[in-house]
């Protein structure tokens, strides 16, 4: 039976543990010559431009022995009025899985409901679960554990924040979101995460207060792709939520700084912090490759 990966909650905590272990093996070079997905073809349907998601998936798919096929919506019939269900049913006859990077999460839900092959969320406006898997791998590498880790997410409560909350609820981490009023994470995500009772989830306004207990400080761009019209107002509201040396001074001495990239240096994070000794940002970017390979193997290798 096919499985989709649209949010972190599509995996159990035990499956996440297994996936992270496997990703670590892949990163270390174990089975480097093994091609568990040889002969398979995986589509990359991207409505949004990308650096890390596209390159990490294309490279990972190739390293697993499969063939990546990049699909620009403007170059297939979906961009000329073909329905999502018709596109999903057709691609299911050609491909073994599809990674979708899009705006509205409803497109992913509709595509997955009509597809007979696994659908992986490469990013939507509501969730970024592959990024969260890379985040978990990086935290585990740097801290040696996930349980009871304190994350301070400072900035816009966007899709990255939503998936971090889901990750915390699954893996027993604690997360504090510092954001201006009106920029909180999705209320449905918060409600479900808090119902799990595995972690402490706090929303507050003061960045320094959030940083005070932090093992990990995380931020993201203030204006995401597709939100350019509201950029000036949003930047004004978020100007006090920059990750800088002043914020870092409030955190633990061994705090780790994360950012999902791309970064707008000088806005949500300073050069000093991004390039400083606490930063694990580029390890985090690399780990997208390894966790996505482990995810693809988990979803597809049993069909080999």
Based on the fold, state whether residues 66 and 142 are members of the same structural domain. no
Q: Identify the band that residue 229 occupies on the pLDDT scale cut at 50, 70 and 90.
A: low
Q: Are residues 159 and 275 in the same domain?
A: yes
Say whether both 242 and 295 belong to one domain: no
Claim to verify: residue 219 and residue 75 sit in the same structural domain: no
Among the listed residues 135, 260, 278, 292, the single catalytic one is 260
Residue whose C-alpha is closest to residue 10's, from 192, 282, 203, 214: 192
Arithmetic mean of pLDDT, 32-43: 93
Active-site annotation holds for 128: yes
Q: Can you give the pLDDT at residue 4?
A: 98
- 135 in active site: no
Q: How many domains does the chain have?
A: 2
User: Number of C-alpha atoms within 13 angstroms, CB side, residue 71?
Assistant: 24
Q: What is the distance between the alpha carbons of residues 285 and 288, in angstroms, rounded to a whole number? A: 6
pLDDT at 217 over 70: yes
Considering the domain architecture, whether residues 123 and 227 belong to the same structural domain is answered as: no
* Cα distance between residue 104 and residue 27, in whole Å: 32
Whether the pLDDT of residue 224 is over 80: the answer is no
d(CA 257, CA 278): 6
Looking at residue 301, its pLDDT comes to: 86
Is there a single domain that holds both residue 216 and residue 275? yes
Question: How many other CB atoms sit within 10 Å of the CB of residue 73?
Answer: 16
User: Mean pLDDT over residues 156-160, rounded?
Assistant: 97
Catalytic member of 101, 105, 259, 290: 101
Give catalytic status of residue 188 as yes or no. no
The Cα–Cα gap between 113 and 142 comes to 38
Which residue among 215, 288, 290, 292 is the active-site one? Answer: 288
Choose, from 131, 242, 284, 292, the residue flagged as catalytic: 131
Catalytic residue among 220, 259, 278, 290: 220
Do 108 and 64 lie in one domain? The reply is yes
131 in active site: yes
Structure tokens at 9: 């909650």
pLDDT > 90 fraction of the chain, expressed in percent and rounded: 89
Residue 130 appears among annotated catalytic residues? no
pLDDT at residue number 304: 46
Q: Cis (ω within 30 of 0) for the bond into 304?
A: no
Is 303 a residue whose pLDDT tops 60? no
pLDDT single digits (tens) 81-131? 999 999 999 999 999 999 999 999 999 999 999 999 999 999 999 999 999
Which entry of 127, 128, 150, 290 is annotated as an active-site residue? 128
Domain span holding position 114: 8-128+288-303
What is the Cα–Cα distance from 34 to 277, expressed in whole angstroms? 35
**CA 294 to chain CA centroid, nearest Å:** 15
pTM comes to 0.96
- What are 129-154's pLDDT values in tens digits? 999 999 999 999 999 999 999 999 99
Please compute the mean of the pLDDT values over residues 157-177 and round it to a whole number. Answer: 97
Mean per-residue pLDDT, 184-197 = 94
161 and 234 in a single domain? The answer is yes
Domain shared by 189 and 45, yes or no: no
Instruction: Give a yes or no: residue 2 inside a domain.
Output: no
Beta bridge partners of 99: 44, 120
Return the closest-CA partner of residue 137 out of 259, 216, 20, 7. 20
């Amino acid at each position: 039976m096919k499985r989709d990966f649209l949010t972190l909650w599509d995996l159990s905590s035990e499956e996440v543990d297994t996936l992270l272990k496997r990703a670590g093996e892949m990163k270390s070079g174990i089975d480097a010559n093994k091609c568990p997905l040889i002969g398979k073809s995986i589509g990359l349907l991207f409505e949004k431009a990308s650096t890390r998601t596209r390159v990490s998936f294309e490279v990972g798919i190739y390293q697993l022995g499969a063939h990546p096929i990049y699909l620009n919506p403007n170059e297939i019939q979906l961009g000329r009025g073909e329905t999502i269900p018709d596109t999903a049913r057709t691609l299911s006859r050609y491909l073994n899985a599809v990674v979708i990077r899009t705006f509205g999460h409803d497109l992913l839900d509709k595509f997955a409901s009509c597809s007979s092959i696994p659908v992986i969320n490469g990013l939507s406006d509501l969730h970024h679960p592959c990024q969260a898997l890379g985040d978990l791998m990086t935290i585990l590498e740097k801290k040696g554990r996930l349980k009871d880790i304190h994350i301070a997410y400072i900035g816009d409560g966007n899709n990255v924040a939503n998936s971090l909350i889901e990750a915390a609820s699954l893996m027993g981490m604690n997360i504090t979101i510092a954001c201006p009023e009106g920029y909180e994470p999705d209320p449905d995500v918060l409600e479900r995460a808090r119902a799990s009772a595995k972690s402490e989830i706090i929303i507050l306004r003061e960045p320094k207060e959030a940083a005070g207990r932090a093992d990990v400080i995380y931020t993201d761009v203030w204006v995401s792709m597709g939100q350019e019209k509201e950029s000036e107002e949003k930047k004004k509201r978020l100007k006090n939520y920059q990750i800088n040396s002043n914020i870092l001074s409030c955190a633990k001495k061994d705090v780790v700084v994360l950012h999902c990239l791309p970064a707008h240096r000088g806005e949500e994070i300073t050069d000093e912090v991004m390039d400083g000794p606490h930063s694990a940002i580029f390890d985090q970017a690399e780990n997208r490759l390894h966790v996505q390979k482990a995810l693809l193997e988990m979803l597809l290798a049993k069909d080999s």
